[in-house]
Amino acid sequence: MRRDLCYITLMSKVNLKQFSFDEFDALVRELDWPKYRAQQIRDWIYQKRVSRFEEMTNLSNSDRELLETRAVLSAPELVQRQRSADGTQKFLFRLSDGQEIESVLIPDDDRNTLCISTQAGCTLDCTFCLTGTMGLLRNLKAHEIVDQVLWMQNHMEPDQHLTNIVLMGMGEPLANYREVTEALGRLLHPKMVGLGPRRITLSTSGLVPQIKKLGESGLNVNLAVSLNATTNAVRDRVMPAINKQYPLESLLQACRDYPLPPRRRIFFEYVLLKGINDTEADARRLLRLLKGIPCKLNLIPFNDYPGAPFGRPDDETVLRFQKILIEGRLPAFIRKSRGRDILAACGQLRTEAAANPTGLSIPMFS
Ligand code: SAH
Ligand code: SF4
Q: Which residues are tagged catalytic?
A: 102, 346
Residue 96 has pLDDT above 60, yes or no: yes
Confidence of residue 364 (pLDDT cuts 50, 70, 90): very low
Protein residue with its CA nearest to atom 5 in ligand 1: 168
Q: Any idea which ligand is nearest the CA of 117?
A: 1
Read off the pLDDT of residues 199-248 as tens digits, 9 standing for 90 and up.
Answer: 999 999 999 999 999 999 999 999 999 999 999 999 999 999 999 999 99
* Among candidate residues 330, 304, 334, 336, the one with its CA nearest the CA of residue 319: 334
pLDDT average, residue stretch 154-158: 92
| CB 129 near ligand 2, within 6 Å | yes
Residue 133 has pLDDT above 50, yes or no: yes
Inter-CA distances, 215 with 145, 146, 323, Å: 21, 21, 31
Tell me how far apart the alpha carbons of residues 167 and 180 are, in angstroms, rounded to a whole number. 9
Q: Which residues pair with 300 in a beta bridge?
A: 271
Atom of ligand 2 nearest to the CA of 132: 6
Protein residue with its CA nearest to atom 25 in ligand 1: 346
**Residue 102: phi, psi to the nearest 5?**
-125, 145
CA–centroid distance, 346 to ligand 1, in Å, is 5
Nearest 5 degrees, angle CA 268-CA 272-CA 276?
A: 120
pLDDT at residue 162, rounded to an integer: 97
pLDDT average, residue stretch 253-259: 98
Read off the pLDDT of residues 181-199 as tens digits, 9 standing for 90 and up.
Answer: 999 999 999 999 999 999 9
Residue 27 has pLDDT above 80, yes or no: yes
CA–centroid distance, 95 to ligand 2, in Å, is 21
Q: Which residues contact 222 (CB under 8 A, 6 or more apart)?
A: 197, 198, 200, 201, 202, 264, 267
Ligand 2, residues 129, 343, 349: which to mutate, most atoms within 8 A of Cβ?
Answer: 129
Read off the pLDDT of residues 287-302 as tens digits, 9 standing for 90 and up.
Answer: 999 999 999 999 999 9
Tell me how far apart the alpha carbons of residues 39 and 23 are, in angstroms, rounded to a whole number. 11
| CB 131 near ligand 2, within 6 Å | yes
Please report how many Cα atoms fall inside a 13 Å half-sphere around the Cα of residue 189, on the Cβ side: 17
pLDDT at residue 305, rounded to an integer: 87
Ligand 2, residues 136, 172, 273: which to mutate, most atoms within 8 A of Cβ?
Answer: 172
pLDDT at residue 336, rounded to an integer: 81
pLDDT average, residue stretch 351-357: 52
Read off the pLDDT of residues 318-353 as tens digits, 9 standing for 90 and up.
Answer: 999 999 999 999 999 998 877 877 777 776 777 765
Protein residue with its CA nearest to atom 3 in ligand 1: 168
Residue 137 has pLDDT above 90, yes or no: yes
In percent, how much of the chain has pLDDT > 70?
92
pLDDT at residue 353, rounded to an integer: 52
Ligand 2, residues 117, 118, 122: which to mutate, most atoms within 8 A of Cβ?
Answer: 122
Strands 164-167 vs 71-72: parallel, antiparallel or unpaired: unpaired
pLDDT at residue 360, rounded to an integer: 28
Q: List the beta strands (DSSP E) in 123-177.
A: 136-139, 164-167
Asked whether the CA dihedral 146, 147, 148, 153 is positive or negative, the reply is: positive
In percent, how much of the chain has pLDDT > 90?
85
Q: Which residues contact 90 (CB under 8 A, 6 or more apart)?
A: 81, 82, 84, 102, 103, 104, 105, 339, 342, 343, 344, 349
Q: Any idea which ligand is nearest the CA of 123?
A: 2
Mean pLDDT over the full length of the chain = 91
Q: How far is CA 88 from the centre of its chain?
A: 17
Q: Any idea which ligand is nearest the CA of 300?
A: 1
Radius of gyration of the chain (CA): 22
pLDDT average, residue stretch 129-134: 91
- Contact (Cβ atoms closer than 8 angstroms) between residue 132 and residue 124: yes
pLDDT at residue 108, rounded to an integer: 92
| CB 206 near ligand 2, within 6 Å | no
pLDDT average, residue stretch 260-266: 94
pLDDT average, residue stretch 130-136: 92
Strands 100-108 vs 111-115: parallel, antiparallel or unpaired: antiparallel
Nearest 5 degrees, angle CA 172-CA 204-CA 275?
A: 100
| CB 205 near ligand 2, within 6 Å | yes
CA–centroid distance, 347 to ligand 1, in Å, is 5
**Out of 83-87, 127-131, 214-218, 360-364, least confident range:** 360-364
**Residue 103: phi, psi to the nearest 5?**
-130, 150
The SS3 call for residue 257 is helix
